[in-house]
Amino acid sequence: MSFNSEYTGHKLLVANRGEIAVRIIRTAQRLGIPTVAIYTSSDALSPHVAIADEAAHLQNSASDQQQLASESKLYLSSAIIISICKQYQVTMVHPGYGFLSENEEFALSVEAAGMIWLGPQPDVIRIMGLKHEARRLAANAGLQLVPGSQGLVNTLEEALSIANTIGFPVILKATAGGGGMGLLVCRNGNDLSECFVSAQERATSLFHNGGVFIERYYPAARHIEIQVFGNGLGDVVHMGERECSVQRRHQKVVEETPSPFATGHSGLREDICDAAVKLCRTIKYASAGTVEFLVDDESGAFFFLEMNTRIQVEHAITEAIHPDLDLVEMMLAQGIAQRSEARGLDHAAQSMRQAIYDKNLVESRIHAIEARVYCENPSEGFKPSPGILQFVDFPKENWLRIDSWVSTGTEVTRFFDPLICKLIVTGSTREQAVSRMVQVLKACKIFGPPNNLAYLASICDSTIFKEGKATTRFLDNFDFSPNAFTVLSAGIEMTIQDLPGRRIGLGIPQSGPMDSQAFSAANILAGNTPETEALEIVVLPGAGCKLKFHNLAIVAITGKPATVKIDGEQVSMWARLTVSENAILDIAGLPGPGFRVYLAIRGGFPEVPQYLGSKSTSMGLGGYQGRSLRVGDQLALGSQSSSEQDERGPVALSLPEGLIPVYPQDWVIQVLAGPHDDAEILTPEGNSKFYSTKWSVSSSSNRMGIRLESNQSIDWARNTGGEGGSHPSNILDNGYVIGTVNVNGDTPVILTNEGPDMGGYVCLCTVATGERWKLGQLSPGSTVTFRKISWQDAQACMKAPLRWIEAVQAVVAGSQPYMDFVDDALEGRELSGILHRNEWSSGSLRPAVTFRQAGDSAILVEYGEMHLDFVLRARVHALESEVRKRNVKGIWAFAPCIRSTMCHYNPSVISQADVLAVLLNTERSLPDSASDLQFPGRKITFPIVLDDQWCRDALQRYMRTTRNSAVYLPSNIDYLARNNGLEGGVDEALQKLMDSAWLVFGVGFYLACPFLVPIDPRCRLVGQKMNPSRTYTPSGAVGIAGPVAAIYPVVSPGGYQLFGRTLPAWQTWGKGPDFASDRPWLLQPFDQVLFEPVSEERYLEIEQEFNAGQYKFKIEPVVFSMAAYITFTDGIQQEITEFKRKQAEGTAKEEAHEIELLREWQVQKAAKAPPTVLVDDTGMAGTSVTSSISASIWKIKCQPGDVIQSADDILVILEAMKTEINILAGEESVGKVVTSLGKGIREGASVQVGDVLAWFE
């Protein structure tokens, strides 16, 4: 409907959030009314904030933590909202539903401030809000009431008397209650006696009004309500009824119109609608409202329940059956009309003509149904399920309306009602509407924490609902079991992984299972393809994994030996298992070699969405909520279609013993030399010693990298890393590959599935692809010896794992497996990591080029000497561009950085020799001089806060928790000024950092982190990395290490010297005009970055726009010309020379000072270490608890003399793999006394598997 009301000069504030705020704003926008949204901190990115013309932050004087604790209360703060209305010159306020929508005082405050209240009269709100008063008014209007008390019941004696008169069961209701809250059913006098006082107390707590009254409770009843609209002058129309009988916990979940019950009972519709209109005329009701009735399912008699003096959640189905009806538009028109001479809508206006609605109800032949979708868990008592919605996709049909506020990436917080959307379908018949609703519920994809979509689908597909026979008790005993499991305990770590993970590069971890062999075997045994997503689990004695399966599931468990039980009965690993409905699967850790267990479930996890092409969990991305699974998590399962083979019992089939791998304690792993194990990096003796050392796996290892320890030092062939850094392990940043042995200082780390793909440390060798599965079973305390092999040998190494997988598939298929898995004989070819080197010739413009082996699927191409040079970076870019033009099959990615690029290829498609030939030929085709090279890119302006509060806070945390004295403390910027010889101090340092555009040299490391270098050499400040690194860096922080700057993509550890904060070049969900869901990164090599200083206040506004996907970067095309660059630098060569001279002097001073400060800090740290208390375990009597893993002791929770009270008493908390591991006393220790700690047990000490932690007697 359209109105002639004049909206010019009005501004609307919506005093609500979520889908109703969005819905109201949409109507206002259509009418041309400017809107103001309000929001709390957790709602800052919600769509109602983004689509409104203006938005105001609800804040009070409380601290940030107190603000969060009172998030929902802020939407109830009438004083703050009225203040915002005045500030923004609001003329109208729409309260939506809930919150302040039925608050008389708020309505009065709005009107007192001279604004239009879009709702009924405040006194009507008050009277109808008190249910005992509403009953009185309804009775006076001639409506029949549910038998009950005449008013409030004040004493238990009075309550019992009334209940005995009207008969049990009865229902106690809070007079100020609503939304299903404040209701208690009492089936007899004992129930009433037990809960009467508590009902009053709960009503006081929830509604600040302890009044309660009693009604007869009708177990088999219908809930039917009438949509009304009044003009405040005594004219009232109705739009028909809605049936809302399908309720859980007295709250509606499915509503429909017309009511199937009213349709089947002649005259009921007319009578009940007339009664609603009669009541509203009596009180001269204004605006939209709903009169609710209880209808006896047997007799059809109806009784007044209450009136909701606001727009209802389910108003959309009424709009659906009346073409062009918009109740919000009517409320706006009525509100404005009330301020006119007419004092309300004209009774003759089209919107107030009952005949039109009656005609629609008779002739439209439309049936509408609404289902409310909540983030809640029906199998856990409808417990709210906050979290990130990782994928949202709604079907599109012309008969479907969706009122929602969510999209992919939306966070549903714990602070508010978990309603995420309403699905409204229409049909020409009820049968068609029901069928469409079932179709839509099954087609909706809302993946993230549990929701009620499957529950709603089950309701709508049930016979009772289809036949229109659902009463208010329908859901009380509704049988629903989710096809899912619930985590009862999660072991040390449990993540979702798939194969092959992500192959994108750009610092986006590949992820996937650490042991692809055991992972694939589990999937094959479970009846999946080898690549299907499954669980990777770390369990230890006392830290197992328990899952409750709500439906039958076919599973398989492989990997490290563990004790597996189904409902207490032990079953086999490496077998196909059937877990029955409601059974508990228990995986308990055992001591011994191996580390990871794999659990595959038939059908995988269909409601875990892919992120960038994979379901694998990584760095806050993918998997379930981007993290390890936790207690209480529930994951939906796929189809469990079974075969005769599956029905042989709990264990359907098993692998023969000869196929089950045995994991050793001491591992030999085949590696390829390089890229950096040559004589330039290690001495010949050092090289030999590295490969002969038996390295021990550190407890600090994890999925990012396996840290190795030894009492052997690394013999370096050089003293420093030159421009790469002061330590010989430092280099200018270059690409990494999975499985490379990266040396950080003097500590080797095998980079694994979550490791960086770029960095500034040498890589001595790389694990052969066919051997990488072994990395997944390396446990803390086990040992590794590296054995060098050639590229050809590495190809042979791939065959045994493939044959083994084929053998597993043969067993499952019922055929005889091939059992010979011995590696083919290795040929012992030349094992150099340098594949080819083009030496530099005196006078030549062509730089030296070294082609280095980087495992069996990559080649590192390195130009010139170890220094930053734009000419070298230009040649790298030219090489990549030319190779891409040739479209070589098998070469799939490059990872360029300062003076090199990592060329990744698929060895099953193209050989190393052929890749090398392509690279050599392409390099030879490049011109001798780079001066004629030009590179198109983009110039992108980033807002930046210099010397910002967030980076200063990160340094303060560092000084409190890590190190309090260093050359770079307390100010990184002051250090940068001194380190670069800048006499103007901080101001000059910041000015230089802003004076030049920055060229993007590389994108990678983690999450497309950009590496930037100022184009103007006079602005290239240098700085050392912080030692040790920070544990916290804010997202968007900008820092310098060596000559390179980086923009941190997310909150993370880091060691760069920070000088400001900008927007990250990463947007996880790809929101915003400059990002996409399949391209959540912004920058690429040879883009140029300009920093534009802004205030902290402006930055906060920009950050909110960015996070909401509303910010648009200023981007313009640009070409980087080497000729222009060379001309520019030649013209300022003298200034460059002078700048570098002062820089070298400053750096030398700061390095010398840092050596002193570092030594002092190390002495102080050693002095603070707790003394070692040695206890001689020899001859100790009694029992003991031992360590189940190599780890460090984080906390000691027991002392000699303590009596063990429970098996769950925590004795010691270990730390391994950045995970806390509780060591429990166990049943056998209950009642015993702790006599002493084990030998050398103290906080901070390291322990090995089997070390005694505590003794008992």
pLDDT of res. 754: 95
Instruction: Give the per-residue pLDDT at 365.
Output: 87
Res. 1184: pLDDT tops 90: no
pLDDT digits over 868-895, tens only? 999 999 999 999 999 999 999 999 999 9
pLDDT score of 643: 63
CA end-to-end span of the chain: 84
- Banded pLDDT at 635 (limits 50, 70, 90): very high
DSSP code per residue over 993-1023: HHHS-EEEEEEETTTTEEEEEESSGGG---B
- Reply yes or no on whether the pLDDT at 217 is more than 50: yes
Identify the pLDDT of residue 1218: 63
Q: Which of the pair, 1165 or 582, is modelled with greater confidence?
A: 582
Report the run of H or E that residue 792 belongs to, with start and end: helix 791-797
pLDDT at 818: 72
Decide if pLDDT at 797 tops 70.
yes
Residue 713 has pLDDT above 90, yes or no: no
Residue 249, pLDDT score: 86
Report d(CA 952, CA 1095) in Å as an integer. 15
Structure token digits, residue 696: 């021990």
Structure tokens belonging to residue 318: 């009424």
Q: What pLDDT is stored for residue 1164 in this prediction?
A: 87
1181 pLDDT above the threshold of 70: no
- Residue 180 clears pLDDT 80, i.e. is over it: no
Strand order in the sheet with 1191-1196: 1219-1224, 1210-1216, 1191-1196, 1246-1247
Question: Higher-confidence residue: 273 or 1221?
Answer: 273
Q: What is the pLDDT of residue 66?
A: 53
Q: Which residues contact 154 (CB under 8 A, 6 or more apart)?
A: none
Mean pLDDT of the chain: 92
Fill in the amino acid letter for 988.
E
CA nearest 894: which of 1007, 1004, 1010? Answer: 1004
pLDDT-based confidence at residue 826 (cuts at 50, 70, 90): low
Most confident of 177-191, 222-236, 1235-1249: 222-236
Averaged pLDDT for residues 721-750: 90
pLDDT at 1174: 42
User: Mean pLDDT across the stretch 187-208?
Assistant: 88
Tell me how far apart the alpha carbons of residues 671 and 788 are, in angstroms, rounded to a whole number.
Answer: 5
Can you read off the two tokens belonging to residue 402? 């969706």
pLDDT one-digit tens code per residue, 1034-1049: 999 999 998 999 999 9
Q: Of 418, 403, 334, 313, whose CA–CA distance to 25 is shortest?
A: 403
Q: Tell me, what's the pLDDT at 648? A: 56
Closest Cα partner for 252 from 169, 297, 316?
Answer: 316
Does this model's pTM top 0.85? My answer is: yes
